[in-house]
Structure 1
């Protein structure tokens, strides 16, 4: 009788994935082939052949935005009542429809393309900055010594879209210790209050943070190769056109940042 191949490991298991790991490992492949890819092909086919009515926006993107606004208004109504019932959902849908038809807001131009991975990176960075800035503000409030020196810093942004610029301003305002006090829309200039600027390194750190926000918002919403100006803007709207040198500055910052890695 021949000896066991592994006498010191009589209960050795065969090499390979366990059944549960193998199942979940193959699940994403099945979902990609059988679901995601046909859905993408169907969307491309519909985009090329279907023409939406003008009253619905004239394009699938506009229809999607209007459906999103309808769903958001309905959700807000349900949240205000605090009880998820069919009556609240139906009432919210009716109210949302009346608001969108009788009290329409000005149309917001969507001229770039949304990138989910870059957006997740932005959200993660915002949460990190939120906790760090909260700790810094709390420490400045309790530590002995002179109070922080607040200043207003002027920062130029190379963001084209008004919608993206608004999102960037909201991002800055959510971080404790900073507040956008004025926006010069034609010049794309922000005047931002900084909580503590007693040392030059604090100002430099803040400017680096704003440059990062500017760069990541451009990567998330309005990359140059995917930019399509909206007909909602007139051709002579100077505020809508950012000089090439400003966008090149952001591209050079992104390239130098990648080289340092």
Structure 2
């Protein structure tokens, strides 16, 4: 492979990350204007060129249907989690109970690990307190846990988020691995 073709392939693989940085910039400023787009491009160039980040190896695969399923389910989980936590706060009859649980993930990929961790932390009622990157284990503090069955329910929930993320943006090999393990 020629050096020029290798550089183009590298740029193509980094394009989703670059576009994500631009979208993140626009979301942070809450502006969807041409000026926000241009400053987002500048910010993305600075972040990717000045700060030497390790290369992010993306799968190059995006499944729009599973992406939509992820977004809709995530929004539903945000509403449900908010209502659940609010109810636990105002229900004076009992304490909600809390636990720190370990959840070993199925897919051995740092990007999937990061996406799963962020997703779980954004849903009210759970928070990532530690990550064992080498063994791909997430440690979560969760509220509303009163029994071992509740712990297993939380663990299964995290694994469902991992499955949704893999289905949406994981590689074909990761999707196969997920299906094999879940059988």
Which category describes the TM-score, using the shorter chain as reference length? 0.7 to 0.9
* Match of residue 108 from structure 1: 56
TM-score, length-scaled by structure 1: 0.57
Q: 1:72/1:54 Cα in 2 relative to 1: closer, same or farther (>3 Å)?
A: farther
Q: Which runs of 5+ in 1 are unaligned?
A: 1-50, 228-243, 256-261
CA contact (8 A) 2:26 2:32 kept: no
Please give the alpha-carbon distance, in whole angstroms, between the structure 1 residues aligned to 2:75 and 2:32: 29
Structure 1 residue matching 2:102: 3-state secondary structure: strand
RMSD value, Cα = 3.4
Question: How far is the alpha carbon of 1:150 from its aligned partner?
Answer: 0.7
- Verify: 1:151 aligned to 2:99, yes or no: yes
Please give the alpha-carbon distance, in whole angstroms, between the structure 2 residues aligned to 1:173 and 1:98: 28
Question: How far is the alpha carbon of 1:89 from its aligned partner?
Answer: 5.8
TM-score, length-scaled by structure 2: 0.78
Question: How far is the alpha carbon of 1:221 from its aligned partner?
Answer: 2.4
Q: How does 1:117-128 map to 2 (within 5 A)?
A: 117-128=65-76
Please give the alpha-carbon distance, in whole angstroms, between the structure 2 residues aligned to 1:57 and 1:252: 36
Q: How does 1:4-83 map to 2 (within 5 A)?
A: 53=4, 56-59=7-10, 61-62=12-13, 64-65=15-16, 68=19, 71-72=22-23, 75=26, 79=29
Higher strand share: 2
Question: How far is the alpha carbon of 1:85 from its aligned partner?
Answer: 6.3
* Match of residue 89 from structure 2: 141
The equivalent position to 2:163 in structure 1, one of 203, 215, 223, is: 215
Q: 56-65 vs 133-142, which deviates more?
A: 56-65
Question: How far is the alpha carbon of 1:194 from its aligned partner?
Answer: 1.1
Structure with larger Rg: 1
Structure 2 residue matching 1:105: 3-state secondary structure: coil
Paired residue total? 183
Question: How far is the alpha carbon of 1:69 from its aligned partner?
Answer: 5.7
Question: How far is the alpha carbon of 1:185 from its aligned partner?
Answer: 0.5
The structure whose RCO (Cα within 8 Å, separation 6+) is larger is 2
Q: 1:117/1:73 Cα in 2 relative to 1: closer, same or farther (>3 Å)?
A: closer
* Match of residue 147 from structure 2: 199
